[in-house]
Amino acid sequence: MTKTSPPSLFSLTVNGRNVVVEADPKTPLLYILRNDLELNGPKYGCGLGECGACCILIDGRAVRACTIPIAAVAKRAITTLEGLGDGDHLHPVQQAFIEESAAQCGYCLNGMIISSVALLNCNPDPQEADIREALRHNLCRCGTHIEILAAVRKAVVLSKAASSASALSAVSETKA
């Protein structure tokens, strides 16, 4: 009962840029990001939403690009691993993962970072159990869990420092 739909044009917002792609409406967003937009952050891992290698942020929430048909995206803002940083600055979570060498093969790294960013978006001060629960459905086969947990703990510290620094600068700008 599969209906083939004619390719349609879709306008997407990816990492702050507007792009237009032409594809079958059922096409998984993952293929669009990787093949049409040449973004290597999200990785194909299972195509079933199980492993988390393809995680991206949609409106700040971590979702699995392999199970998102392009037709479902509409105007929502998509952020990939490439779009986390701010120009030349790494996102604090990326910074923390690099400092803690929180990767072996690194194939799951995209999902780990994206899921951690999503966690800190809604819980800036997570406890150990919160972190483990937030990453529960991101699979890592190399066994890098210990380093990843350390990285998320460090990211919490870096994020707080970054937000208090930006709060300070906001205050000084206001005063100026």
Partner 1 sequence: MTFGRDFPKSSYLAAPEVLTVASASSPDAELYIAIHADGRVTAFNGHVDLGTGIRTSLAQIVAEELDVPFESVAMVLGSTSAVPNQGATIASETIQITAKPLQRAAATAKHYLLRRAAERLQLPLENLVVEGGIIRAVTGENASLSFGDLVTGASVQLVIDPEAPLKPVSAYRTVGSSRPRVDIPAKATGRWTYVHDVRLPGMLHGRVVRPPYAGFDHGAHVGTSLISVDETSVAHVPGLVAVVAIGDFVGVVATREENAAEAAKKLKAVWRLPPEQPDLNSPEEALRANPSTPRKLADRGNVELALAGAANAMDRTYVWPYQMHGSIGPSCAVADYRNEHLTVWSGTQNPFPMRKDLSVLLDMPEESITVERLEAAGCYGRNCADDVTADAALLSRAVGQPVRVQLTREQEHAWEPKGAAQVIDVRGGLDLEGGPAAYDFETRYPSNLAPTLPLLLTGKIAPVADTLQMGDRTAVPPYAYGNLRVTVHDMPPIARASWFRGVSAMPNTFAHESYVDELASAAGVDPIEYRLRYLQDKRAVDLVRATAERAKWVPHTGPGTLGGEGDLLYGRGFAYAVYVHGNFPGTAAAWAAWVADVAVNRKTGEIAVTKVTCGQDSGLMINPDGVRHQIHGNVIQSTSRVLKEQVGFSSTAVTSKEWGGYPLITFPEVPDIDVLMIPRPDEPPLGVGESASVPSAAAIANAVFDATGIRFRELPLTPERVLAGLNGMDVIETVPPVSRRRWWSVGLPVVGVLTAVAGLATMASPWRTAITPVEKPALDTYSANTIERGRLAAAVGACNVCHVGTDGQAFAGGRRFDTPFGAVYATNITPDPENGIGNWSYPAFERAMRHGISRDGHHLYPAHPYTSFAGAEEADLQALYAFMMMQAPVAQKAPETKLAFPYSIRSMMAGWNAMFLKAAPFQYDQAKDATWNRGAYLVETLGHCSACHTERNALGAEKTGRAHLSGGFADGWEAPALNALAKGPVTWTETAFYDYLRSGHARDHGSAAGPMAEVVSALTPLPDSDVRAMAVYLSRLNTSPVAETPGVQMQSAIAASVAASEQAARISPKGARIFEGACASCHEGNSILSPLTLNSNLHSDVPDNVLQVLMNGVEAPAILAETTGRQAPEVMSMPAFRDVLDRGQMEDLTAYLRARFAPGKEAWAGTGQAIDRVLRPLANIH
Residues 139-158 that bind partner 1 (CB under 8 A): 139-149
Residues 10-39 that bind partner 1 (CB under 8 A): 23-24, 26-28, 31, 34-35, 38-39
Structure tokens at 36: 């049409």
Does 94 sit near partner 1 (CB under 8 A)? yes
DSSP track, 67-110? G-BGGGTTTPEEE-GGGSSBTTBPPHHHHHHHHTT--SS-TTHH
> Which of 19, 104, 121, 153 lies at the binding interface for partner 1 (CB under 8 A)?
104
Q: Which stretch binds partner 1 (CB under 8 A): 69-77, 154-162, 164-172?
A: 69-77
> Which of 13, 37, 77, 85 lies at the binding interface for partner 1 (CB under 8 A)?
85
Using N-to-C axis directions, what is the helix angle for 109-122 and 92-99, rounded to 10°?
130
| C-alpha dihedral, 48 to 49 to 51 to 53, nearest 10° | 110
> Which of 40, 127, 163, 166 lies at the binding interface for partner 1 (CB under 8 A)?
40
